[in-house]
Structure 1
Amino acid sequence: MTPAHRRLAVRAFSVLLFFTVLAGQFWRNLLGWWGFGVIAGLLTIGAVVLLVREKPEWSWRRSPKGVAAFLIVAALSIAWSHYPAASALGVGLTVATTIAAVFVGLCLSWAEFLRALGNALRWILGLSLLFELGVALVVRGPLLPNFVSYEGEKIPMAFYWSRGLLFDGGPIEGIVASRNLLGFIALLALIVFGIQLAAKTVQRRWGITWLVIAAVSFVLTRSATVTLAAVVVLAALGFALWARHRGPRRRGVVYLTAGAALVASIAALTLGWNLLLSIFGKSDDLTGRFDIWAAVSGLASERPLAGWGWIGYWAPWVDPFDSLAERKGVLYLQAHNAWLDVWFQLGIIGLVVFAAIVIPALWRSWFLAVDTAYDGRGAALPPRASALLPLLVLAALIAQSLAESRILVEGGWVLLVAVAFLTKRRQLSGEAMP
């Protein structure tokens, strides 16, 4: 195989990998858990094989230490876990997902990362709209996943693959079977497609078309949590562009304004909470989140230092997850807050090592986004639009982590770890942005 064909294989594999980690529920609903397991296993093997064949430049110095620390703590937690067998399974799944993320972080250039992620997002959004159109035209009602059977007269709406509400203006769930997840994917798409347009790495007409598709998908999901995440992303973009304009020696006012805006936002949320809920049509308990947070916090406080044991996605057949977060006949399998989930599973130790992934990656992403880049001869380069990508992706992930735990599993974990590796690599090598 020629080097060109090898790179083509790496890029194609990366698109499939991003598609699967972001839209894993599509495979599970289509092929069942066993079918998804086969696909996930093949992708993990493929990532290992490509890592060995590509032999990317790697050293301990080039690696984000927080990722290794988190995996070590998660693995050690099997020893004190309340559910050791489930913890062993959870650690194995997290390691497999991390392998996929490391492949992305070490084997893809910035240009390839941007292109592969963009192509995967286009597939997900395009198939989601076609899927919703098919359900609305053919099924004309809610559609259940394949390979499932539910007993009882009334099936909770959360169990359906799609509720078939496209012609009613949504909310739509798409192929990922969740309006919150589809909304977040649409938000990622808005970030990626916007950067590709600004960086002129796609044809303008093509880029605008997909930007509109992403915006339409975002609106049709009618997701309140993702809407708030979008506000955080816009704020991060605004402050980054302002910091670029001010230059490295005149950014004090930027940081002071950002701090004041954060304090003001917290105050506004506190004082205008009921108004905000009414605007988004949410119940006073944020669709059951308050009850879930209270239940999880109660258990976490019983084992505050090291937690109950790592599991990642909650296993519904294991105590206490078999009854911990049940609402209206639906058993939820996350704490709906990643930081609370980490505290519950790995205690304060886990929170420290998780923060050791997020905070340094955010730090590197910020300065990558705002600082002037230089070429090999030391000449200053104009600010690159693509340099904003890791900052905006992390802003979206962190904002989502306050209401969802998806940053700990599948696509969220892959993006977090991949950005941590890519920014670390960029910091040490000065690799050019596309």
Structure 2
Amino acid sequence: MPAVQSRFVVRTFATLVFFSALAGQFWRSLFGWWGYGAIALVIVAGGIVALVKLKPDWMWPRFPKSLIGFLGLATLSLAWSFYLGASLIGVTLQWATTATALFLALCLTWPELLRTLAAALRWILALSLAFELIVAVFVRQAVLPFWVDYSGQDVPQSFYWSRGILLQGGPIEGIVANRNLLGFVALIAVIVFAVQLAAGTVRRGAAWAWLGTAVLVLLLTRSATVVFAAAAVDLALLFALWARRRSPEGRRPVYLAAAASVVVGGAGVVALTPWLLTLLGKSADLTGRLDIWRSVTELAVERPVFGWGWVSYWAPWVEPFQGLAVRRGVTYLQAHNAWLDVWLQLGILGLIVFAALVLSTLWRCWFLAVDRPRRGLADTEPFAASALLPLLLLVALLAQSLAESRILIESGWLLLVVLAVTTKRQQATNARMP
């Protein structure tokens, strides 16, 4: 019984970790930055304590070296950072998020990871719909985050926690206060709930209900970023299922078709972007992203090799971030492209290390998805369901990374580390099997 209770505590804490990483803005809107900081500190401390007490397997052959390389380079950038104080904060936050992700990757089994992630997603979706309904029906006006005084100034739309237009069909922001973030949470939920449905690990009625809820929330956000990410996930799923039907030696047509689809799809996105932006109510400059990318590129070429120093979220109180990306009264704290952000902060060297981390993880996710494993992720679940999940989650993150830098911070970095570590451990396990 004590062991069962301890696993219940671990799973409950893991659900809180996933919830707080995916919906960090909920805590910030509800309790302010100081309240959020206190919650984050408790979560990080709890993750470290769990790592110490549960004593998971830390065998280095099972640990992704590219992850160590990226964290090491980010830490080393303190030596040449243009903004040492901000870099100290950024590097500390990066290590704190990594430690929390390691708790998830090393202390939970794959079924537990799936179960706790799904639970966190259900909480976020349910609370978001309930919150938007309350605002639309009872408050009947836009709602600002608590503990912030905006009196005497024109408040940009993006500052609102919710605009209260659920009954008009959205777009809605949910408890995360951002339709792009809520849409991405809904996309992850669609992937996870569909896997659970296919695996038969939850009741079919409940699975279909939550899958429908996730799709509804995704549609209500009207996020162009998520539409693109969803298309990429669908394409990855199609090619993975095709590859499964062929032997490893007979997959050349799959790879050729995949390469061709990337080229054609890229050209199609460029050609159809104006139409898609009009359909989704977006401006022709991608909601200011083109100006941000131009400013970031001009700054990155000033320090192209090693960058300006790691900072994670931009620090708007220091140069060169002060006034770097301001649009309609909103100061943006990211490049809205993870690859540009890495180049800006860690230079070409950082891009190489980050690409190694992402591509090596993608490589492992692909072959774990298309090659029937001897043991591990698909031990007790249908092969078609469980082994596909890492690939689909990573593809969603990579698609998002072209328009957002979330893969470098909070939930994006946490999920990337979890996928990198779990797939590396699975690969090492398979390699030792006869």
- TM above 0.5, yes or no, is yes
- The residue that corresponds to 2:116 in the other structure is 116
- The residue that corresponds to 1:412 in the other structure is 412
Amino acid at match of 1:110: W
- The residue that corresponds to 1:127 in the other structure is 127
Cα shift at 1:357: 1.2
- The residue that corresponds to 1:20 in the other structure is 20
- The residue that corresponds to 1:194 in the other structure is 194
- Distance in 1 separating the partners of 2:5 and 2:54: 12
Cα shift at 1:105: 1.0
The answer on whether the counterparts of 2:199 and 2:382 sit within 8 Å (CA) in structure 1 is no
Amino acid at match of 1:115: R
Cα shift at 1:382: 6.3
Cα shift at 1:67: 1.2
- The residue that corresponds to 1:267 in the other structure is 267
- The residue that corresponds to 1:424 in the other structure is 424
- Distance in 2 separating the partners of 1:146 and 1:153: 16
Within a 5 Å distance, the mapping from 1:218-237 to structure 2 comes to 218-237=218-237
The answer on whether the counterparts of 2:28 and 2:35 sit within 8 Å (CA) in structure 1 is yes
- The residue that corresponds to 1:335 in the other structure is 335
Cα shift at 1:282: 1.9
Describe the shift of the 1:414–1:382 C-alpha distance in structure 2 as closer, same or farther (beyond 3 A).
closer
TM-score by length of 2: 0.96
- The residue that corresponds to 2:241 in the other structure is 241
Amino acid at match of 1:312: S
- The residue that corresponds to 1:359 in the other structure is 359
- Distance in 2 separating the partners of 1:153 and 1:56: 52
- The residue that corresponds to 2:292 in the other structure is 292
The answer on whether the counterparts of 1:98 and 1:417 sit within 8 Å (CA) in structure 2 is yes
1:103 aligns with 2:92: no
- The residue that corresponds to 1:161 in the other structure is 161
Deviations 1:165-189 (A, max 9, x none): 1001000000000000000000000
Deviations 1:68-88 (A, max 9, x none): 111111111111111100000
The answer on whether the counterparts of 1:303 and 1:347 sit within 8 Å (CA) in structure 2 is yes
- The residue that corresponds to 1:400 in the other structure is 400
The answer on whether the counterparts of 1:144 and 1:160 sit within 8 Å (CA) in structure 2 is yes
Describe the shift of the 1:375–1:35 C-alpha distance in structure 2 as closer, same or farther (beyond 3 A).
closer
- The residue that corresponds to 1:302 in the other structure is 302
Cα shift at 1:404: 0.2
Deviations 1:303-332 (A, max 9, x none): 000001101011121222220000000001
The answer on whether the counterparts of 1:373 and 1:382 sit within 8 Å (CA) in structure 2 is no
Unpaired stretches in structure 2, ≥5 consecutive residues = none
**Secondary structure at the counterpart of residue 398 of structure 2:** helix
- Distance in 2 separating the partners of 1:243 and 1:285: 38
Cα shift at 1:198: 0.1
- Distance in 1 separating the partners of 2:199 and 2:412: 25
- Distance in 2 separating the partners of 1:189 and 1:272: 27
Amino acid at match of 1:272: L
- Distance in 1 separating the partners of 2:347 and 2:383: 41
**Secondary structure at the counterpart of residue 237 of structure 1:** helix
Amino acid at match of 1:152: G
The answer on whether the counterparts of 1:372 and 1:382 sit within 8 Å (CA) in structure 2 is no
Cα shift at 1:247: 2.6
- Once superposed, what is the RMSD of the aligned Cα atoms? 1.5
- Distance in 1 separating the partners of 2:157 and 2:271: 32
Unpaired stretches in structure 1, ≥5 consecutive residues = none
Amino acid at match of 2:5: H
Cα shift at 1:61: 1.0
Q: Higher mean Cα deviation, 80-89 or 317-326?
A: 317-326
Percent identity for Structure 1 against Structure 2: 59
Cα shift at 1:9: 1.1
